[in-house]
Structure 1
Amino acid sequence: MFLGKVVGSVWATQKEVGMEHLKLLLVQPIHADGTDAGTQVICADRIGAGQGETVIVSRGSSARILISKDSPVDAVVVGIVDSFEYCKE
């Protein structure tokens, strides 16, 4: 899992079977201090995250099983972060 910031939405009128009712978001992975942590990822979202929110993203088979074991999804928003504490040593 990783922390990310929702930076956009992705619209696709034609989707593979199993993705028909999924909202897709563009998420920028971030470090705990808020700086960018890699390449943006397209994530499926069933919990209603929005632009600018910090989210928790799960990837791979752990993400896929949340939708359907046969789904072509690789990343899923699994939480919207209310707050977190980062203690730099």
Structure 2
Amino acid sequence: MTIDLPNIVGLLGSALMVIAYGYSNIARQMNFRLFNLLNLVGALMLIASLTVHFNMASMALEIVWAMIALFGLITAWRKRA
């Protein structure tokens, strides 16, 4: 693996998703906006990385992950509005 910009972006996206997962396990009261936003941004960063270093299985996973996070984010905003 070369350390190029797409790999750095992908690693940062992965880190955001791991942070979201860790947060969901330690938070006393979940902030679903934060949780879903971290997941959405992380998935979009991984998708951007995968456009350069393509992998079909990973791309499919990240697209689905981003759609679920977007749905969760919209739902969280509607509940607060």
The bucket for the TM-score relative to the shorter chain is under 0.3
Q: With structure 2 as the length reference, what TM-score do the two structures score?
A: 0.25
TM-score, reference length from structure 1: 0.24
Q: Which structure has greater strand proportion? A: 1
Higher helix residue share: 2
Structure number with greater CO (CA < 8 Å, separation at least 6) is 2
